[in-house]
């Protein structure tokens, strides 16, 4: 085998190794990006929960102030709050206001879970990209070494025309 052929084989193998390293690095980079996106979505989920908790607290505080104003207004007009329609009205309004606070919490939790689901999707995509990079690296090595082996076999296998 000549010097040029040996250099060609070495170049083929180096190229295969370089391609394998590049494929593996690309998969790792995609996984790192996906992991970053997942962390961002998890932080967003936490922020959504905190925002909902704050709004829920605000809603309850506003509801308490409104109930207090209503009681004062009833008492100022001489209405007995211990029974009858005024008591029922205050109770119904308190229930509605609590439902509003719980709806705020529920909506915040839905948004947070959507963000967490997106984070999980990013993580799965990153794992798939990492696996694909590993597979592509192996494929690059096999192709390169296969080409080198084919080249060697062609060099040392007599051709059909030489047998005739």
- Per residue in 48-86, pLDDT (tens digit) is 999 999 999 999 999 999 999 998 998 898 888 888 888
* pLDDT for the residue numbered 37: 96
Pick the more confident residue, 126 or 6: 126
For helices 3-76 and 85-156, angle between their N-to-C axes, nearest 10 degrees = 180
Of 16, 35, 36, 34, the residue nearest 24 (C-alpha):
16
What is the C-alpha to C-alpha distance for residues 111 and 143, in angstroms, rounded to an integer?
47
* pLDDT for the residue numbered 159: 65
As a whole number, mean pLDDT of residues 14-40 equals: 93
Where does 77-157 have alpha helices with state H? Answer: 85-156
pTM of the entire predicted model: 0.71
Q: Which pLDDT band, with edges at 50, 70 and 90, does 147 fall under?
A: confident
In the structure encoding, which two tokens stand for residue 156, read together?
């040392």
Query: In this prediction, what percent of the chain has a pLDDT beyond 70?
Result: 96
Give yes or no for residue 26 having a pLDDT over 90: yes
List C-alpha distances in Å: 28 to 11, 18, 124, 143: 25, 15, 13, 21
Give yes or no for residue 137 having a pLDDT over 80: yes
Q: What angle do CA 133, 44, 112 make, to 5 degrees?
A: 105
* pLDDT for the residue numbered 57: 97
Give per-residue pLDDT as tens, 84-109. Answer: 888 888 899 999 999 999 999 999 99
Largest CA distance in the chain: 124
What is the C-alpha to C-alpha distance for residues 93 and 63, in angstroms, rounded to an integer?
9
Query: In this prediction, what percent of the chain has a pLDDT beyond 90?
Result: 59
Give yes or no for residue 1 having a pLDDT over 70: no
């Amino acid at each position: 085998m000549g010097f040029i052929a040996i250099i060609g084989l070495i170049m083929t193998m180096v190229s295969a190794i370089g391609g394998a390293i590049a494929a593996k690095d690309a998969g790792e980079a995609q996984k790192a990006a996906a992991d970053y996106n997942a962390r961002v979505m998890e932080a967003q989920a936490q922020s959504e929960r905190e925002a909902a908790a704050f709004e829920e607290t605000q809603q309850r505080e506003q509801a308490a102030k409104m109930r207090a104003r209503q009681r004062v207004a009833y008492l100022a007009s001489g209405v007995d709050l211990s029974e009858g329609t005024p008591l029922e009205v205050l109770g119904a309004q308190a229930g509605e206001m609590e439902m509003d606070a719980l709806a705020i919490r529920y909506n915040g939790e839905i948004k947070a879970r959507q963000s967490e689901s997106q984070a999980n999707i990013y993580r799965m995509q990153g794992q798939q990209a990492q696996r694909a990079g590993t597979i592509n690296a192996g494929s690059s090595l096999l192709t390169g070494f296969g080409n080198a082996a084919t080249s060697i076999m062609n060099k040392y296998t007599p051709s059909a025309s030489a047998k005739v």
